[in-house]
């Protein structure tokens, strides 16, 4: 079942996923940035932290703006520009004077981060609904495989010259841009002017805005595995290598299990799968609450990674299902922005809790994740989760992609034939009895 489902994915998607693996393996600057600034450029740790923070500000802004830019200029075109721009910024770093490093990293972070939500929008917006979760999971698995492969290569490169790290990042960005340009077709687009994001319509879409709020709670807790957990482990005498092994094992588990899990659960309601994932996140932090030691960390990472595999690809697919025509980029940007807010909130909050009230850190994380899960679970119980602007599982680009040969067939073609069923006729073509009885399709997915 799993391999058959993967073979049914279009060839262009498998090529794109391979490109994401290369890009992820080559994107090493973020991992060694602080060490580079301190050891190679001779900066104080505090100044290096400010420059790294500037890079983070650029990333958050790029994620937030990338969807809007992609919907207006084209998702595929914007991704090519983003990858080439991040490559250029990487090449500028070694030759830039210290005074310009902050602006270079901010601009590079902004341009490169535009591709984060657009990559998922390209995958989920170009696939029929029944394949979205598998596509999202396969894309995430490739990125995690790159995380497993990249750091050792980066360490070897840094031992010879730190400049090689930025060259590797530039090469990976150029390779990804060329791959998208040559082999990835444009996603289906709606004819006419680009629709504006109407906040009233979004607020009326209770499941979507609840997801955005809930994931901010959960991500604020989830990011503590990168802030509070290494502090706890090193403070108790565990070498930093022990923490690195945990993160690597988590990535390996995602590579091996996330895509098969998404395929097996594709017929289940997204509004049941996502809260279940949040519950696993809460359970993992509960383990750390009662067993704050390396053994507890091993068990907790396994439980938290299981929750991550459940909620992350399902959430990306769910955001695509809710998106009106021509707004997949913005909806993915909204979700991506909410889902990385923890990278801004978590470090200062986690550091303060660990310093002044360490016994509260893991209980607070448990409560945050549980609160996010309860929010979405209550929505799933109300029965108010029909898409606000959708067409009952044949909505927007989903219905379009299902019949578009350039996207769903094995052949790779540079253009897409717009043969979707007009929105006003979809209920006539697909009566309620047919929509309700289609196997493997959930109204909530």
Residue 154 neighbours by CB under 8 Å, 6+ apart = 28, 31, 32, 165, 168
Give pLDDT tens digits for 368-402: 999 999 999 998 887 555 554 433 333 333 333 33
Cα 420–423–425 angle (5° rounding)? Answer: 95
Q: Hey, how many other C-beta atoms are within 10 angstroms of the C-beta on 422?
A: 9
Give pLDDT tens digits for 74-99: 888 999 999 999 999 999 999 999 99
**8 A C-beta contact, residue 112 and residue 60:** no
For 219, how many CA atoms within 13 A lie in the half-sphere containing its CB?
20
**8 A C-beta contact, residue 247 and residue 298:** no
How buried is residue 264: exposed, middle or buried, by Cβ count under 10 Å (0-12/13-18/19+)?
A: middle
Give pLDDT tens digits for 123-182: 877 777 777 777 777 887 888 788 777 767 776 777 788 888 899 899 999 999 999 998
Give pLDDT tens digits for 14-23: 888 888 888 8
Give pLDDT tens digits for 409-442: 443 333 333 333 444 444 444 334 333 333 333 3
Token pair, residue 424, equals 């006003």
Give pLDDT tens digits for 26-46: 876 766 676 788 878 888 877
For 358, how many CA atoms within 13 A lie in the half-sphere containing its CB?
14
Q: Looking at residue 195, what is its pLDDT?
A: 53
Residue ranges covered by each domain of the chain:
2-187+200-382
Q: Hey, how many other C-beta atoms are within 10 angstroms of the C-beta on 419?
A: 11
Please state, in angstroms and rounded to a whole number, the distance separating the CA atoms of residues 425 and 403: 16
Query: Is the predicted pLDDT of residue 200 greater than 80, yes or no?
Result: no
**8 A C-beta contact, residue 64 and residue 124:** no
Specify the DSSP class assigned to residue 38: I
Query: Is the predicted pLDDT of residue 343 greater than 50, yes or no?
Result: yes
**8 A C-beta contact, residue 126 and residue 397:** yes
Domain 2-187+200-382, CATH class in plain words: mainly alpha
Q: Looking at residue 385, what is its pLDDT?
A: 52
How buried is residue 207: exposed, middle or buried, by Cβ count under 10 Å (0-12/13-18/19+)?
A: buried
Share of residues in the chain with pLDDT > 90 (%)? 24
Token pair, residue 311, equals 């909620």
DSSP H or E stretch at residue 52: helix 45-73
């Amino acid at each position: 079942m799993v391999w058959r489902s993967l073979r049914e994915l279009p060839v262009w998607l498998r090529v794109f996923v391979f490109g994401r693996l290369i890009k992820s393996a080559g994107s090493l600057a973020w991992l060694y940035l602080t060490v580079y600034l301190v050891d190679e450029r001779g900066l104080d740790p505090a100044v290096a932290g400010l420059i790294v923070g500037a890079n983070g500000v650029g990333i958050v802004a790029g994620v937030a703006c990338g969807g809007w830019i992609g919907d207006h200029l084209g998702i595929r075109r914007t991704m090519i520009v983003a990858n080439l721009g991040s490559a250029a910024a990487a090449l500028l770093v070694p030759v830039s004077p210290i005074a310009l490093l902050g602006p270079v990293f901010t601009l590079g972070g902004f341009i490169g981060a535009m591709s984060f939500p657009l990559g998922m929008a390209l995958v989920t917006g170009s696939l029929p609904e029944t394949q979205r979760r598998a596509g999202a999971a396969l894309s995430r698995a490739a990125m995690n495989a790159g995380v497993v492969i990249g750091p050792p290569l980066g360490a070897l490169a840094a031992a010879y010259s730190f400049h090689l790290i930025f060259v590797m990042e530039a090469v990976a960005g150029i390779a990804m841009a060329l791959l998208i340009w040559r082999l990835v077709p444009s996603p289906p687009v709606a004819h006419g002017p680009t629709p504006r994001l109407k906040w009233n319509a979004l607020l009326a879409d209770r499941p979507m805005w609840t997801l955005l709020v809930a994931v901010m709670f959960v991500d604020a807790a989830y990011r503590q595995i990168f802030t509070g957990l290494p502090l706890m482990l090193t403070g108790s005498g565990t070498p930093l290598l022990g923490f690195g092994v945990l993160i690597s094992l988590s990535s390996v588990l995602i590579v091996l299990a996330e895509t098969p899990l998404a395929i097996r659960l594709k017929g289940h309601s997204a509004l049941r799968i996502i809260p279940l994932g949040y519950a696993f996140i809460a359970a993992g932090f509960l383990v750390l609450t009662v067993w704050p030691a390396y053994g507890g960390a091993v068990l907790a990472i396994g439980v938290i990674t299981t929750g991550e595999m459940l909620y992350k690809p399902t959430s990306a697919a769910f955001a695509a299902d809710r998106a009106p025509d021509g707004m997949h980029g913005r909806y993915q940007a909204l979700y991506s922005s909410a889902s990385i807010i923890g990278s801004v909130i978590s470090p200062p909050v986690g550091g303060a809790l660990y310093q002044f009230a360490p016994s509260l850190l893991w209980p607070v994380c448990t409560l945050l994740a549980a609160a996010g899960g309860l929010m979405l679970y209550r929505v799933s119980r109300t029965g108010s989760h029909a898409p606000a602007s959708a067409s009952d599982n044949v909505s927007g680009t989903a219905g379009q992609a299902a019949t578009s040969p350039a996207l769903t067939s094995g052949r790779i073609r540079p253009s897409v034939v717009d043969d979707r069923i007009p929105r006003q006729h979809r209920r006539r073509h697909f009566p309620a009895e047919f929509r309700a009885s289609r196997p493997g399709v959930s109204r909530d997915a």
